[in-house]
């Protein structure tokens, strides 16, 4: 079955960096776009970044542009979220998810990183930015 496993979270000081990984199994990785989301305590889940499946088109929330970089490695069925210049407001549980659309339509899920356009989700990894 579809499985997504996030890792790489932890405690980091403001200004620091972390790289999250999302390892996928149980489906054809290249058919799906992968989105990253986060949910802070008491807040709704928000889209952070997305990467398409064919040309690797990327999109980012305004709050992370210039600081976060998403990438994918098809050989490892893994998507990465490199997070630099972290701020306390980046503290949240981070999730990865697969697009509901597949193959040539998958990138449509990345246009607004809308969670309604993502189907299977990982269990999340905690990121805490604090001094």
pLDDT at 117: 94
Strand order in the sheet with 18-25: 3-7, 18-25, 78-83, 68-73
Q: Is pLDDT at 17 greater than 90 in this prediction?
A: yes
pLDDT at 121: 97
pLDDT at 56: 85
For 18-52, write each residue's pLDDT tens digit. Answer: 999 999 999 999 999 999 999 999 999 999 999 99
Distance CA 1, CA 101 (A): 17
- CA 68 to chain centroid: 10
pLDDT at 114: 93
**Residue 53 · residue 107 · CB < 8 Å:** yes
- Which one-letter DSSP state was computed for residue 15? T
For 113-124, write each residue's pLDDT tens digit. Answer: 999 999 999 999
For 49-103, write each residue's pLDDT tens digit. Answer: 999 998 889 999 999 999 999 999 999 999 999 999 999 999 999 999 999 988 8
pLDDT at 55: 83
């Amino acid at each position: 079955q579809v499985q997504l496993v996030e890792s790489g979270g932890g405690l980091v000081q403001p200004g620091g960096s972390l790289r999250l990984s999302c390892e996928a199994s149980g489906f054809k990785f290249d058919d799906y776009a992968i989105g990253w989301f986060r949910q802070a305590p008491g807040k709704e889940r928000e889209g952070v970044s997305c990467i398409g499946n064919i040309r690797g088109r990327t999109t980012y929330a305004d709050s992370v542009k210039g600081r976060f970089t998403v990438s994918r490695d098809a050989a490892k069925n893994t998507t990465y979220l490199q997070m630099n210049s972290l701020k306390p407001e980046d503290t949240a549980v981070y999730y990865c998810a697969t697009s509901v659309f597949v193959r040539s339509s998958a990138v449509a899920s990345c246009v607004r990183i809308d969670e309604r356009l993502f189907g299977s989700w990982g269990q999340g990894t905690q990121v805490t930015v604090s001094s």
